[in-house]
Structures are given as C-alpha cells and as structure tokens.
C-alpha cells in the first residue's frame, strides 16, 4: 500500500509540475437519458486518452474568478475555475497555428447535442457536405456546444464535443476548442451563462496573457475542422 501511495504521488507531481493533481473519474451520473443512449455505441472509434489529458482537479494560481474558464492553447488544457485556488482541468483539441486565436469572451449560448450547418465556403473547401447535420454522436459538434460571444455578437468560436477523441492534446481544429463528449458534458453542467472565457495565445506571443480588452477575432465561416475521411466513417449512409 505504501508503494502504491508513493507511485500515485510521483505521478501527480509529474502531471502537474508544481500543481498537485488528483484524478476525477469520468462518471455518467450527470448524463441525460439521451446522452447514455447516444454514447453507448458511438459511431466513432473510442480512444484511450493519455493520463495527462484526462480530467483532473488541480491547484490553480491565476486570478480568474470561480466559474470562469481559461484555455491554455499552448499546453492543450482548459481550466474551469473552482473556489479555494483549485480548478477542473480538461485535455482539449485546439486550433492549428494559422487558426489559433486568443482573447476574452463570455458564454452567450449553450446547447445540448447541437446541429451543424456547413457554410458554402466549407462545402467548396472540404467536398460534398449536407446542408444540415442533426445533433448526434456522428456530428462533429459532439454532445454539447458552448457558444462564445463578444458583447451581444456571436464570435463563431465554440467550446464543444468531438467525434474525434483520438486527437485530444493536439492542434488540428479550425479555431474551436474541442473536448471529449464525456468531458464537455461535465463542463457544460458546471459553466453558467455569461461566464468569462479567457483564451491564452501561443507561448512567446504578444497575446499570451489575455486581458479584458482583447476580443477574439470573428470568423466569417464555421470554425469546425471537418475531416472528410472521418465524416464518411462516422456517417456511413449519409455520405
């Protein structure tokens, strides 16, 4: 038992650096009946998420208020700030270098199993796509959508689930922040409308430390990264 305790302590120190991390097991206690049905046999390959990108409660040393969200795009983490100097940390997929963004926004809308309407630009760029994709496990928006606003304007950036969990910890999206469906459900249940969302830019950039005066750039297209091979695999008869 003593050896097991030492191994666990060393593991926590390695994962969190100066932060002591404790694993928060994934639970379906907050899943709706629809969640359980759609995630029981999802139309995508289940992935083994590296331990460092699994959900943890960690020490949090920045000054964001409890209830805020901070995204560290360089480290591929999203933090939901808790009281008493702690945060829930999730592994995420972030935007590619050319699609990365930073700034401060607020949660302006929340939706369960959101639908997706591909833009004309996406159809030209990515190949044949339907005009609309109903919400579901095959949809690249995943189980939940958290929509980021600047004032009353939709920035078109989202925090949402994914049908590509194998890419957690990587930078492949078109700007949106993606979590596993299980983790985005957990985050969705915690975050409130109007919550502040801070997104840190790449290390060494001018916008690494975001301020309330920094607003995310508004895109003129949908921010979802759509992989045609993955879409065919996920949709089956739809393509």
Question: Which residues have a Cβ under 8 Å from the Cβ of 151 and sit 6 or more positions away?
Answer: none
C-alpha count within 13 angstroms, C-beta hemisphere, residue 127: 9
- Residue 66, CA distances (Å) to 61, 70, 110, 145, 212 in order: 12, 11, 19, 21, 16
* 138 is an active site residue: no
Catalytic residue among 18, 56, 138, 160: 160
Tell me how far apart the alpha carbons of residues 108 and 86 are, in angstroms, rounded to a whole number.
25
* 160 is an active site residue: yes
- Residue 109, CA distances (Å) to 112, 114, 162, 174, 212 in order: 11, 11, 18, 20, 19
Tell me how far apart the alpha carbons of residues 52 and 176 are, in angstroms, rounded to a whole number.
21
Beta-bridge partners for 22: 57
Helix (H) or strand (E) holding 105: strand 103-112
Buried b (16+ CB within 10 A) or exposed e, 169-182: bbbebbbbbbbbbb
**Residues 74, 203 contacting (CB under 8 angstroms):** yes
The residues annotated with a catalytic role in the active site are 160, 176
């Amino acid at each position: 038992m003593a050896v097991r305790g030492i191994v666990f302590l060393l593991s926590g120190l390695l994962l969190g650096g100066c932060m002591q991390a404790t694993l928060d097991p994934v639970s379906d206690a907050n899943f709706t009946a629809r969640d359980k049905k759609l995630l029981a046999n999802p139309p995508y390959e289940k992935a083994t998420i590296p331990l460092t990108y699994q959900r943890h409660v960690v020490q949090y040393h920045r000054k964001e208020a409890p209830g805020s969200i901070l995204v560290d795009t360089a480290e591929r983490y999203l933090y939901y700030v808790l009281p008493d100097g702690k945060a829930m940390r999730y592994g995420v997929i972030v935007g590619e270098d050319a699609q990365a963004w930073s700034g401060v926004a607020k949660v302006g809308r929340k939706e369960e199993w959101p639908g997706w309407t591909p833009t004309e630009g996406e159809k030209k760029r990515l190949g044949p796509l339907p005009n609309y994709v109903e919400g579901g496990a095959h949809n690249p928006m995943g189980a939940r959508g958290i929509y980021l606003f600047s004032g009353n304007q939709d920035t078109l950036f989202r925090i949402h689930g994914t049908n590509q969990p194998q890419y957690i910890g990587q930078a492949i999206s078109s700007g949106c922040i993606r979590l596993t469906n299980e983790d985005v459900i957990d985050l969705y249940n915690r975050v409130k409308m109007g919550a502040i969302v801070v997104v840190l830019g790449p290390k060494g950039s001018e916008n690494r430390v975001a301020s309330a005066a920094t607003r995310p750039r508004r895109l003129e297209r949908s921010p979802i990264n759509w992989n045609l091979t993955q879409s065919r695999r996920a949709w089956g008869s739809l393509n």
